[in-house]
Every structure is written in C-alpha cells, then in structure tokens.
Amino acid sequence: MNANRWILGVTALALFASAPAHGQERSRPGPEVEDREVIRQRIRERFAARVQEELDLTDEEARELRETVERFDERRRELMRAEAAARIRRRSAVALERVDPEGEAISDEGARSSLDAMVDLREREVALLGEEIDALLEVVPPSKVLRFFHMRQRLVERVRRTRHPGGGRGGPPRGERPPPR
C-alpha cells in the first residue's frame, strides 16, 4: 500500500513540476497565437477575393458585402459562445446523473430551463440569419446571396475538417455518416 502511495505521489509531483504555473504561458501572445491570427486574416482575404471573383462583384459590392458580413460576425460568435456554454451545462448535468445515479438528479425545472434555453438559442440564430439575409439583399441579388452562403458553408466545413480530421470525435464528418442498417 505504501509503495502505491509513493508511486502516486512521485507521479503527481512530476506532473505538477513539469506543468507551467497558472497563467505563465498567457502573459503575452506567443508565436502560435500570432500565427493563427495571421492565418485567419489570410483566409478572410482569400475568401473575400474568391467571393468577388465567383459572384462577379464590383469593388463597391464586394466592400459592402464584406462590411455587412462583418457587422453580423460578432453577433454570430456571441451566439456560438452561448450555445457552447449551454451545451457544457447540459453535458455536466447529464454526466452528474451517470456518475452518481443516487445523487442529485437534474430537476424537471432545471431540465425545462435547459430545453427553453435551447429553443431560445435556435430562435436567436434564425432571427440573426434572417437579418443577415435581408442586409445582404440590399447589396446583391438573391442568387448571389445564396451562392455566398454556399461558399461560406464550404469554407466552414473545410476549416472544420482541417481542425478535426476524421470527424473530430472519432466518427466521420457530419453528413458523411453511413446510413442506418
């Protein structure tokens, strides 16, 4: 028993000693963070150029389209953060039930609140999409707005595949799952 405690203690010490102190690595952005931002900027620039070319936009239309999209980007990111936080809360509640089935289960009130939050997020997402479409229609015709959304979705999927080759969580990418048997 003492040997097991000793091994556990040495392992814990080795892990803590090799880990950087809390906040140590975040004192200033390192090259990785800067590199990522440079890469993101290049992707945005190339995407904008490709949109302008494929949709045959004038310089003025391309500028207005880019400005319109940028106005909606922060709101979209806020929704994505809110959705991620809600997903974490739901998973935590479900995981607690699995770990300790005799413990405090999520109440019906808590579950209902979680479900209402899911609906609220989807409604906000749909409203944002509608607002963005209306704004884009003031710049270009519907056929070009539709093509723009298709191009943007393809870009998002490519980025997702690059970040998570093979589908991320061990399975194939969304939409590429084999049909049920």
Structure tokens at 36: 């990522």
DSSP for 7-56, please give it: HHHHHHHHHHHHSPPTTGGGSS--HHHHHHHHHHHHHHHHHHHHHHHHTT
Q: Which residues contact 124 (CB under 8 A, 6 or more apart)?
A: 79
Structural contact between residues 135 and 71, judged by C-beta atoms closer than 8 angstroms: yes
Polymer length of the chain: 181
Alpha carbon 127 to its chain centroid, in Å, reads 19
Q: What are the sequence ranges of the domains in the chain? A: 34-158
Q: Which residues contact 144 (CB under 8 A, 6 or more apart)?
A: 55, 57
Structure tokens at 113: 């609140």
Q: What is the pTM of this model?
A: 0.64
Cα separation values, 39 from 22, 33, 46, 157, Å: 28, 10, 11, 17
Per-residue model confidence (pLDDT) at position 18:
36
Q: Using CA atoms, how far apart are residues 117 and 114, in angstroms rounded to an integer?
A: 5
Give, for all 181 residues of the chain, the pLDDT tens digit: 444 443 334 333 333 333 344 444 445 555 677 788 898 889 989 999 999 999 999 999 999 999 999 999 999 999 999 999 988 888 877 776 655 556 566 677 877 888 898 999 999 999 999 999 999 999 999 999 999 999 999 999 998 898 888 765 545 555 555 555 4
Closest CA to 127 of 115, 135, 137: 135
The amino acid that residue 130 corresponds to is: G
Closest CA to 147 of 9, 52, 28, 12: 52
Per-residue model confidence (pLDDT) at position 145:
97
The amino acid that residue 8 corresponds to is: L
